[in-house]
Structure 1
């Protein structure tokens, strides 16, 4: 499926419990042209502006 631009954002509470399935999912998303950006839940709560800045920075990256 073609996309002009794609990004998958994931928030995490703690260390991933399913690292192998995460890696498989990431591989599929990356193969489809997505970039993966992960942020911690506490960053969303405590540093939302920084999270938005990170997402905008990643979207602007070519």
Structure 2
């Protein structure tokens, strides 16, 4: 659950940079968006692994 909360936190934190990149053409904001997306990818994989482990241990 902690990792899922972190995912929500990252999404909320990157929202302003997404606006700056797409609407204002700010290249530095695009770099921050890319980093945030990579962090999300990593966390999502960790959540998937935890869910699989928990699901299989309950059997």
**Superposed pair shares fold, TM > 0.5:** no
Question: Higher strand proportion, which one?
Answer: 1
Higher RCO by CA contacts (8 Å cutoff, separation 6 or greater): 1
Which TM-score applies when normalising by structure 1? 0.34
Which TM-score applies when normalising by structure 2? 0.35
Q: Name which one, 1 or 2, has greater alpha-carbon Rg.
A: 2
Question: Higher helix proportion, which one?
Answer: 2
